[in-house]
Chains A and B, each alone.
Chain A
Amino acid sequence: MRDFLDAYSIQYWLESCPQGYLEGTEYGHRPGEKEPELLLDDPTLREQAISTTVQLVVGERCALAASSGLINAAPDEASRRFLATQTLDEARHVEIFTQRLYDLGVKKSELEDVIDAFANPNLVKFAEILLEKVDKKDFVAGVVGQNVILEGMAFHVFEMMHATSEKLNPKFAHTLSGTIADERRHVGFGENRIGSLIQAHPEKKPEIERMQRDMSYYMLATFADRFRDTASREEVQRMRREAGSDGAGSGTWQGANLADLEPEEMERLLADTILGEFKKRLARIGIEYQTPARP
């Protein structure tokens, strides 16, 4: 069995990622794939897609700032190298989701204004809590915040979006599948590296537990804003109708047929799945999960 830190090599990253599942892709999807006409032609659907994609850009910008910021706080060479590959992964995620905004018709000159207009304030708060730890060069808290909480959330959000897009929007589904593959490495690093560091620094637990509770609260508040938005509900229903579906257009995720769910039910399924995973992941690394308030 190899030493787990040895696995964090640029060589492995090259073979599995750029020379593996990303080979031949264009901004993460297959060359020539386009956003569906339905989405581009309908102003409400297009705005909803822009709004959703802005949240992804905001999350990925935070991950880019955090992973790059943590490189010089890392206690060992292998972690620094891993975080260098993660930095490139996150920069790619920022780029491909930004490209999606352009594909949806956002002009380059309007990009920052569109992001400011649509960025969910609760998601911005979520990111600020993490970046505060990174600014203090707090490696243990920074990695838990980024690779367990932020990525744990992103992982499931991407999986759910992938399930809903697989048939309705193959271009976006392909873009997401490469990011999901990247996230597997990122969550793996979070658990593996921190599992041992927490044992060495038990005094850090209360602060990390507080961070987890606060970040979880802002995550739930973001979901509440997104799913309880009446336009989103309209989006889901319209997409379903237009796809001629009774379920044919959306996939299954966590054993549920997403087409059968109302937005509130989707919100609950997503939130419960993520919080359940947080609990298990944190328990594995020796951190006690703190239940956040429900917004």
Chain B
Amino acid sequence: MKGDEEATGGSTEVGERRRYELDDQGFDEVPKKYRKFYRRWKGPGDELAPNEIFCPVCRIVIRSPREIRPGDRIYCMACMTRLRAVRGPDGRIVAEVEYT
């Protein structure tokens, strides 16, 4: 579907969520079995895929096996922060921190 690729986060919020095969991208800061869920952030020009979200607390990229949509709850194991995906002012999906 066109438009799908345009916004970062690319979520259409309707229908089946796309699924993603995750590979280990060398992020070694969490125990081995969780490494494929994270990657390093490459700086301001780094384009995020629809299954990826930036952790605003520790500045790494969290990767989900499926497309991320607003309302999803996400855990950043690198900084132990609970996040919730929301639609940002520019239409991109961003993570908001949830405090207890």
Contact = CB atoms under 8 A, between A and B. Distances in A.
A binds B: yes
Interface of A: 1-5, 7-8, 12, 15-16, 19-21, 181, 184-185, 187-189, 191-192, 195-196, 199, 252-255, 280-281, 284-285
Given A181-B29, A280-B56, A4 B80 contact: yes
B80 A188 contact: yes
A37 to B, nearest CB: 29
A63 to B, nearest CB: 17
A255 B43 contact: yes
Given A7-B80, A20-B32, A196-B100, 13 more contacts: A4-B81, A5-B100, A12-B31, A21-B29, A184-B78, A185-B79, A188-B79, A189-B80, A192-B80, A192-B82, A195-B99, A254-B43, A255-B45
Nearest to A190: B57
Contacts of B78: 181, 184-185, 188
Contacts of B30: 16, 20
Interface centre among B58, B59, B73 (most CB of A within 10 A): B58
Q: Is the interface of A mostly helix, strand, loop or mixed?
A: helix
9 contacts: A20-B30, A21-B28, A184-B60, A185-B80, A188-B79, A192-B81, A253-B43, A254-B44, A255-B44
Contact of B28 (A5, A20, A188, A191): A20
Contacts of B31: 12, 15-16, 19-20
B76 interface: yes
A187 B58 contact: yes
Interface string B63-100: 00000000001011111111000000000000001011
Given A3-B100, A7-B80, A184 B73 contact: no
Interface of B: 28-32, 43-45, 56-60, 73, 75-82, 97, 99-100
A1 B81 contact: no
Given A4-B100, A188-B80, A192-B80, A20 B29 contact: yes
B25 to A, nearest CB: 14
Q: Is the interface of B mostly helix, strand, loop or mixed?
A: loop
A196 to B, nearest CB: 5
A198 to B, nearest CB: 9
A184 B30 CA distance: 11
A226 B29 CA distance: 31
B81 A188 contact: yes
Given A188-B58, A196-B100, A254-B44, A1 B73 contact: yes
A21 B38 CA distance: 14
A12 B79 CA distance: 12
A184 B45 CA distance: 21
